[in-house]
Structure 1
Amino acid sequence: MTIQRCQILLELDENAPKHLTPMQIAKTFGVSKATVSNIVSAYANGGIPAIIKINRNPRSNARRKMDGRMEAELLRITCSPAPDGRVRWTLRLLEKQIRLEFDEPISRESIRIALKK
């Protein structure tokens, strides 16, 4: 992410061989035009230290507890018959079952988001 921010700034340099517009840069790097303008304003206000500072999104993949293997196992459990005495799987039941199978606590919200995908 930091490297990409610096590359965006280099592309915006007027002395660059191919001077691109912010919209062209956004398309090239796969970001929005607002991201390009936010990088420019952060650089204008704080210089390079403001660009290097990493702000992580709490919903980013870096913090995700459920990987693809766990999601596949969750789907397998969800598609299986519900436990005895139950009509269907609930988020609480799925949470308990995942905890039993993986020995790792996964929140109901993480399960809900994985199933929503």
Structure 2
Amino acid sequence: MLKKYIVRLNDQERAELTHVIKKLSGTSQKVRRAQILLKSDADGPGWTDAKIAEAFNCRTKTVENIRQRLVENGFRETLDGKKRATPPTPKSLDGEQEARVIATRLGPPPEGYSNWSLRLLARKVVELGIVDSVSHATLGRTLKKRHEQSQNAVLGHPS
């Protein structure tokens, strides 16, 4: 099959890719992209997509996508990866709110309940005015992340 996107690197780009590979600078994805670009260079080794995919343990579609990205978006974006269009959302709870949620969870459940459920805890946290609104999933992540630490602080470390 004829390649639609042909990689042709100049000397400066080849030198930068070689430097990234030798020094293993950057993420593992960046190093892999550098290796793929070097091997797919038409003026260099010019390996086939299948041979590159086998050598670097990836799919041939990955090799095709990297070649396409180089031709369409340029060298810098291909090597470094695309930047996020929207930054990640900030945390729903700050440290003090997390501590109050954990303290509430470690306390006795409301009358008529034997244990805290995440939905029950979410209603109670809003009722107590710790936060204006919170989902049970957010509380689950908070408790999963902090539960062992808080349990050790309250009960003492098992060792």
TM-score (norm 2): 0.46
| Residue correspondences, number | 97
Aligned to 1:34: 29
Residue 78 (structure 1) aligns with: 105
Which range moves more in the overlay, 36-45 or 77-86? 36-45
Q: 5+ residue gaps in structure 1?
A: 1-11
SS at match of 1:85: coil
Is the 8 Å Cα contact of residues 105 and 116 (structure 2) preserved in structure 1?
yes
Report if the CA contact (8 A) 1:22-1:36 is conserved: no
CA distance in 1, matches of 2:83, 2:20: 25
**Aligned match for 1:99, one of 104, 122, 126:** 126
TM-score, normalization by structure 1: 0.59
| Larger-gyration structure (1/2) | 2
Corresponding position of 2:21:
21
Kindly state the Cα deviation for residue 80 of structure 1 after the two structures are TM-superposed.
Answer: 0.7
Cα pair 2:97 2:131 within 8 Å, conserved: no
Where does residue 110 of structure 1 map in the other structure?
Answer: 138
Identity fraction in percent: 21
Q: Over aligned residues, Cα RMSD in angstroms?
A: 3.6
Counterpart pick for 2:96 among 69, 80, 85: 69
CA deviation after TM superposition for structure 1 residue 107, in Å: 0.6
Q: Where does structure 2 lack aligned partners over 5 or more consecutive residues?
A: 1-12, 38-65, 146-159
Map Cα deviations across residues 20-44 of structure 1 (whole Å, 9 max, x no partner). 4277213xxxx4x125546984862
